[in-house]
Amino acid sequence: MSDSDAMTVFDRALVRRRRDRAAPGFHGHSFLVEEVAERLVDRLHDVRQGFTTALDLGCHRGELGRRLLAAGKGVETLASCDLSERMARHAPGLRLAADEEALPFAPGSFDLVVSALSLHWVNDLPGALIQLRRALRPDGLFVGAMLGGETLFELRRCLMEAELEIRGGVSPRVSPFAELRDAGSLLQRAGFALPVVDGDEITVTYENAFRLMAELRGMGETNAGLNRPRTPATRGLLTAAAQRYAELHAAPDGRIEATFQVVWMLGWTPHESQQKPLARGSAQHSLAQTLGTLEGKPPAGSA
């Protein structure tokens, strides 16, 4: 890749091909996206206001969009976009193919932008957040969920240890994910007001590590990092990793556990109605008055 630089972590063309390939059978592997979509719509119920126009960014086959339309939040117009045309064709509303890194929406097009498990494939997340903030009207809401850095730590560890043992070296076989601790400042830098960031963990059990890896392929979520190994993992390596996985991360019923960390980002586009700190020097009462002490004199007992 000639165009790779520090900002370019993911091969976007490969992300698109993976999603295209996953699209026809995605409904068989949509458990995680459906679960996150459910939680996202729950969060919207905590917000009093309704939203007339909404965008589902990275919509997969419309798992989130359909729930949003049924949620009674007043959405009359829903646009559903995905990097993969084949995914977007199954989504509800106004469908289109679009790249999160180069959004094709006029300023102020939406009251609400939601995104379930797509933004972790974006190279330039700050740039994407700025673009989607601009696509929102003032006092518009963005709620996004993406996979965070703790995701698949079990698989990562087992592959790494197995590869160390067999080859004496390691290569990154699981994609890097965004860190929870970065998300808040990203939102703020992108110009969102009242940002809220938190993390959720979803533990899913599978029969074995091979089933987990098949699920990841079915979701279109296999590694698309530019530094991914160019040689596929050998059967021997995968078997060793799967054995290790079964030993270290077994659920009580003998299945294996896989952790997905979901990083939630919520922010509003600035509007004068929102609470904000008062201007410096605009206080009507002195702090001393409030504390019941005399100004200029230290309270008795302090030395």
Site residues (vs another protein, CB under 8 A): 13, 17, 20-21, 23-24, 77, 79, 81, 83, 85-86, 88-90, 94-99, 102-106, 109
The nearest distance, CB 90 to another protein, in angstroms, is 6
Distance CA 136, CA 44 (A): 16
The structure tokens listed for 22 are: 């996953």
Looking at the DSSP bridge assignments, the partners of residue 204 are 258
Nearer to another protein by Cβ, of 136 and 241: the residue is 136
Distance CA 201, CA 34 (A): 15
Nearer to another protein by Cβ, of 66 and 244: the residue is 66
Nearer to another protein by Cβ, of 10 and 105: the residue is 105
Nearer to another protein by Cβ, of 80 and 151: the residue is 80
User: 219: closest CA among 93, 100, 58?
Assistant: 58
- Which run of H or of E encompasses 259? strand 256-268
- Which run of H or of E encompasses 31? helix 31-45
In 189-201, which positions are buried (b, 16+ CB within 10 angstroms) versus exposed (e)? ebebbebebeeee
The nearest distance, CB 106 to another protein, in angstroms, is 5
- Which run of H or of E encompasses 166? helix 153-167
Residues 24, 86 contacting (CB under 8 angstroms): yes
Residues 20, 87 contacting (CB under 8 angstroms): yes
Taking every pair of C-alpha atoms in the chain, what is the biggest distance, in angstroms? 78
Nearer to another protein by Cβ, of 96 and 204: the residue is 96
The nearest distance, CB 13 to another protein, in angstroms, is 7
Distance CA 34, CA 38 (A): 6
The nearest distance, CB 26 to another protein, in angstroms, is 11
Nearer to another protein by Cβ, of 85 and 182: the residue is 85
Nearer to another protein by Cβ, of 94 and 283: the residue is 94
The structure tokens listed for 126 are: 């700050």
User: 258: closest CA among 150, 113, 130, 180?
Assistant: 150
Nearer to another protein by Cβ, of 157 and 217: the residue is 217
Distance CA 221, CA 118 (A): 10
The nearest distance, CB 282 to another protein, in angstroms, is 38
